[in-house]
Structure 1
Amino acid sequence: MKKKLIIDVDTGVDDAQAIMVALAAPDVEILGITCSHGNTPLENALKNTLRVLKVCNRLDIPVYRGCQKPLLARKQHAGDYHGKDGLGDVPDPDAPDLELVQKRKAVQAMIKIANQNPGEVTLVAMAPLTNLAVAVQLDPSFPKKLKALYLMGGNINSRGNTTACGEFNFVADPEAAYVVLDRYTCPTFIASWEFSCRNSLPWSFCDQMLAQGTEKAAFMKKISTLSMTKAKSADYQKEITEGKGFNSCDTYAMAAAIDNTIITESEEVAVTVELEGKYTRGMMVLDYIEQMKKKHKAVIIKKVDLEKFKQMLVNSLK
C-alpha cells in the first residue's frame, strides 16, 4: 500500500527539493499540499509549489491556501537566503496560474483528508506551524487521526539561525510550534536545525546531482544558485555547526517520512517551545529530566544514512 502524505510547506528552495523527493518516491501518494507564510509570503509559496509540480508534470496534486501570517508573532520571511520570491529570484514567465489553487482552505483540507483516511496519513510539516495549530484548534481530534507527524524545525543545542537561540520555522510562529508540540500526540519525528547542519551534503555531490542533464536538474540548479552561493559564504559557514556543505533542511524530514529506516540514530524526549524569553523565544526545549511530566515524547533525529539520502536526491532529479 502506498504511503499517504499531506505536505505543509512555505515553498522555498529546500521545500521544492523535498516535494520533488516525495514525487519521485514510487510508494508515496501525495493527497494534498498545504501552503503557509514563512520563507516567502503566502502568495509566493502557492506560486512556487505550482512551479515545482509543473516541472514534475504533477499539477494534478491539489494545492491549498493556508495561513498568511503567524498566530501572534510579527510576520517575517527568509528572502535573503531563498530570494525575495522564495525560489532564487529566477522568475518563470510560464508559471502556472493561481487559479489552479483549490477553493477549499488548507486547514479544512487537512482535516477532511485525515477524516477520509483515519490512521493512514503522515503529515510532513516544513513551514512555520500555523496551519497545524489552527487545524487542532478547529478539530481537537485531528492529530489522533494521523499516522505520524514529521517536522523540520526547532533546535536541540540552542543554536539559532534566525535569532541567537531560535530556528526559523519555530521563531516565525512560536505559539503555533508550542501548540503543535503540546497537542499533537501522534508519533512525532523532528529534524532539527543542528541535525540538518551536521548531515550537510558535500559540494562535490551537489554539483554532480545538479549536472544530470534533465529538466528537473536544470530547474533545481537555477532556483538553488542564490542559496548555494549564500551557503558557501564565510559568514554563513559560521552558522553551520559541523561540516561544510549544503544543508537542504526540509528534505531530511521528508526523506525520513518516506523511509523511516533512513534514521540511524535518534532519541525520544518530551519537548516544548519557549514563548517568553528575551533571547530564547521560539527555542525548542528538550526535557531530559522529565520535569514537565509529559507522556508524549518526540523522536529527535540525530543521524541519517547519508548514502540513502543522497540516492533519494539524485532520483528526484532524474
Structure 2
Amino acid sequence: MAQKLLLIDTDCGIDDAQAIMMALAEPTVKVVGITCCFGNTTVDYVCQNVVKVLSVCERSEIQVFRGACCPLVGGKNDFTDHFGTDGLGDVLEDRDSEVWKDKIQKEHAALAMIRLASENQGKISLVAVGPLTNLAMAVRLDPTFPLNLKDLYIMGGNMEGKGNMTPCAEFNFVMDPESAYVVLEEYLCPTHIATWEFTCRNTLPWDFFEDMVNQDTAAAKFMKLITSKCWAFSKTFGENNRDVHFGQGFVPYDSFAVAACIDQRTVTDSIQCPVRVELQGSLGRGMLALDPTNMLNKSHSASVMKSCDQTKFCKLLMASLNQP
C-alpha cells in the first residue's frame, strides 16, 4: 500500500513536537517536508525546534523550510510563553549552538509548498498546526496551489465563539486573522478543522500522559524533558477555569489534526458547512464563524470536527513516543 504523503506546517511548540512525532511514527505516512512559521515563538526558534525533533526521532533526512516571521498584514504579534519562550519549555541546553542553521533549506517555505504540491499533484495532505501565514502566502504566489493538494487539515479556530487568546478567538487564527481568512476563502480542496473547543473537549487523563512519557525511548524521554517545567503541562493548569469542559486534563492540541489526517476514523462526528474568519471588532477579530444555513452563499464548505474516538487517538499518541 502506498504511503500517505504529509506536508506539515508548524510553529513548533511542545504540542507541535508531539504532533510531528505522531506523523513520523506512523508507518502508513511519509512526511515530505516541514515548513516553519512564527507563532508559539520566533520562526528561528521554530526551525531549531523542528530540527531537534527530527534529530531525536532519527529522521534528519526530512527537509525543513523557514517561512513567515510575522503576520501577512501589520506588525509582529506578541508571543506567549504558554510553552516557554523558546516553544519547548526552556529546558534545552544547546540553545546557543547554530548548527541547526545548516539543516534549513534555502528555499522559502511558501515556495517549497508550491513546488512539492506541483510535483505530487493530488497526493499531498497539508497539515497546518500554527498560524496560516505560509499557506496564505503560497496561494497568493500561486492561486492554483490548493488545487494540487489532496486535502488540508487545520488545528485552529473555534466553533462556539470561545477563545484562548481573546474572548472570542483561538491562538493560531488570532495571530494572523487575515491569513486564516484567505485560506478558508481560497482553499477549495477538502478542508478539515480541529477547533480549540474540539480539542479541549477531548482532554486525556494525566495518568495516560504519565504512561506515555515514561516509555523507555528517546522520543518519550525528550517529551518528558520539554514538558517538565512547562506550566501548560501542570496538573493544576486550568483549575480556575469556569468552563468545566476545558483545562481538566492533558490536551495535545495539534495531534488531533495529524491523527485525523492519518486515520479519519479518529473523528466520529463532524459538521460540514461554510465557514468564515471575522476580521473586524475588538472582541471578534480572528473568530471562526460557522454558517450551517449558508447565509454567506459560499460555494464550498469545511468539515469541522465535533467528536473523537479516544481509543484510536490514544493508540496513535502512545505510538508517537515509542520511537526509535
TM-score, structure 1 as length reference: 0.96
Of residues 130-139 and 74-83 in structure 1, the stretch that sits farther from structure 2 once superposed is: 74-83
- Relative to the length of structure 2, the TM-score reads 0.94
| CA deviation map 1:204-226 (0-9, x unaligned) | 11011111121111100111230
**Counterpart residue type for residue 159 of structure 1:** K
1:129 — aligned with what? 132
Shift of the alpha carbon at 1:236?
6.4
Question: Are 1:26 and 2:30 matched, yes or no?
Answer: no
- CA deviation map 1:111-131 (0-9, x unaligned): 000000000000000010000
Matches within 5 A, 1:99-248: 99-225=102-228, 226-230=230-234, 232-234=236-238, 237-238=241-242, 241-242=245-246, 244-248=248-252
TM-aligned CA deviation for residue 79 of structure 1 = 3.5
Q: How many residue pairs align between the two structures?
A: 318
Take 1:42 and 1:113, find their aligned partners in 2: how far apart are those partners? 21
User: For residues 268 and 288 of structure 1, do their structure 2 counterparts lie closer, same or farther at Cα, with a shift above 3 Å needed?
Assistant: same
- CA RMSD, Structure 1 to Structure 2 (Å): 1.6
- Report the equivalent of 1:254: 258
- In structure 2, the residue corresponding to 1:86 is in which secondary structure? coil
Which amino acid in the other structure matches residue 179 of structure 2? Answer: A
Amino acid at match of 1:310: C
In the aligned structure 1, how far is the partner of 2:249 from the partner of 2:26? 25
Measure, in 1, the Cα distance between the counterparts of 2:213 and 2:132: 30
Amino acid at match of 1:34: T
Q: Bigger CA drift: 274-283 or 228-237?
A: 228-237
| CA deviation vs aligned residue, 1:137-196 (integer Å, no higher than 9, x gap) | 000000011000000000001010000100000000000000000000100000000000
Q: How far apart, in 1, do the equivalents of 2:33 and 2:297 lie?
A: 35
Q: 1:295: how far off? A: 1.6
Whether 1:307 and 2:308 are equivalent positions in the alignment is: no
Contact persistence 2:13–2:87 (CA under 8 A) = yes
2:12 & 2:72 partners in 1: Cα distance?
Answer: 19
- Alpha-carbon distance in structure 1 between the residues aligned to 2:276 and 2:257: 19
Q: Percent identity?
A: 47
1:278 Cα deviation from its structure 2 partner: 1.9
5+ long unaligned stretches in structure 2: none
Mark the CA change 1:190 to 1:240 in structure 2 (over 3 Å): closer, same or farther.
farther
- Is the CA contact (8 Å cut-off) linking 1:121 and 1:146 kept in structure 2? yes
| Residues in 2 aligned to 1:33 and 1:123: alpha-carbon distance in whole angstroms | 10
Per the TM alignment, residue 290 of structure 1 is displaced from its structure 2 partner at its CA by 1.1
Determine helix, strand or coil for the equivalent of 1:177: helix
Aligned match of 1:273: 277
Secondary structure class of the residue paired with 1:45: helix
More helix by share: 1
- Which amino acid is the alignment partner of residue 316 of structure 1? S
Offset at residue 262 of structure 1 (A) = 1.1
Helix, strand or coil at the partner of 2:188:
coil
